[in-house]
Amino acid sequence: MGRLQNKVSIITGGASGMGRVAARMFAAEGAKVVVADVTEPAAQSVVDEVKAAGGQAVAVVADVSKEPDAKRMIDETIAAFGRVDVLYNNAGIMPEADHSVIDTSVEDWDRVMAVNVRGVFLGCKYAIPKMVEQGSGSVINISSFVAILGCSNPQDAYTASKGAVLALTKSLAVQFAPKGVRTNAICPGPVETPLLMDWLVKDEEAKRIRLARNPTGRFGKPEEIVHMAIYLASDESRWTNGAAMVVDGGITVNYF
Ligand code: NAD
């Protein structure tokens, strides 16, 4: 039996990076996976990979920042698998144009907030009532190490969005644990995914600083974050609620 046997798990942003790896690893632990992402071919290709490995998955095309899409994501999950045990709010963006507040446009700020914060809000808005009805559920919100320390190479909209995710996590944890629904956040350090590598490839200095600050001397691998998510999704974490799980190789505890 897998650690997530029959747990119906929605993974937003499931078509790339950590979400893609999560879809495969959750399915390998016995979860029934819903791969939610903005484009059909990418989401479907992950579903095909999961199925080829003997797992169960369906694709849902949804932009998490749009309310009708978020609602449909939950409806399609119930239609496919009859319940929702895990909402893994992983979808996020980090546009190149996001820099310091003094040179970030209102449009770029709002776009980051729409996906990274409103997306989490809407997923929770529609999934949590189902979980409360069931009397159980686990919400996993992907924040970031940038929510807990300042960065001299700023991405202020992104940083603020991840801080909001962390604060919301704590509020939900307190509200819904009495009804059986736990909410936790993961704060990954810099991880080798398209989101980070596409940016660092163009900014050698940002890459050098990040590597120099990490006591392990390397970036994380997606599976190193997903292992934490599997714990939070599973019943092993039944008394873990409102936590900010930092998985970063020690970057946030490094003074010099
Ligand atoms: P990624 O860019 O490889 O994957 C993100 C996925 O989200 C993509 O498939 C994308 O299509 C999807 N997505 C984007 N906007 C969406 C929307 N509106 N609706 C639905 N799906 C949408 O990124 P990743 O590095 O795997 O990041 C996953 C999460 O981890 C993000 O929330 C990111 O902010 C966070 N994070 C990443 C790092 C890192 O170093 N890579 C560090 C800390 C936190």
pLDDT over 90 at 250, yes or no: yes
| Separation of alpha carbons 73 and 75, rounded Å | 6
The reported pLDDT for the residue numbered 125 is 98
The residue extents of the domains of the chain are 8-246
pLDDT over 90 at 132, yes or no: yes
Instruction: Specify whether the CB–CB gap between 247 and 224 falls below 8 A.
Output: yes
State pLDDT tens for residues 24-71. 999 999 999 999 999 999 999 999 999 999 999 999 999 999 999 999
Choose which residue among 120, 195, 247 to substitute to test ligand 1 binding: the one with the highest number of ligand atoms within 8 A of its C-beta: 195
Which whole number is the average pLDDT over 215-236?
A: 97
Which whole number is the average pLDDT over 196-219?
A: 87
pTM: 0.98
The reported pLDDT for the residue numbered 201 is 80
Instruction: Specify whether the CB–CB gap between 46 and 69 falls below 8 A.
Output: no
The token duo for 219 is 């970036």
State pLDDT tens for residues 150-206. 988 899 999 999 999 999 999 999 999 999 999 999 999 999 998 888 878 888 888
Instruction: Specify whether the CB–CB gap between 50 and 57 falls below 8 A.
Output: yes
Best CA proximity match to 199, nearest among 155, 162, 159, 160? 155
The reported pLDDT for the residue numbered 196 is 86
The reported pLDDT for the residue numbered 159 is 98
Quickly state the pLDDT bin for 209 (edges 50, 70, 90): confident
Instruction: State the fold for domain 8-246.
Output: Rossmann fold (3.40.50)
The reported pLDDT for the residue numbered 256 is 78
The number of CA neighbours under 13 Å toward the Cβ of 133 is 10
Which whole number is the average pLDDT over 239-250?
A: 98
Q: Where are the alpha helices (DSSP H) in 82-118?
A: 106-113
Q: Which residues line ligand 1 (CB under 6 A)?
A: 12-13, 15-19, 37-38, 62-65, 90-94, 115, 119, 142, 144, 188, 190-191, 193-196
Mean pLDDT of the chain, nearest integer = 96
Sheet holding 181-188, edge to edge: 56-61, 32-37, 8-12, 86-89, 137-142, 181-188, 244-247
Choose which residue among 11, 16, 141 to substitute to test ligand 1 binding: the one with the highest number of ligand atoms within 8 A of its C-beta: 16
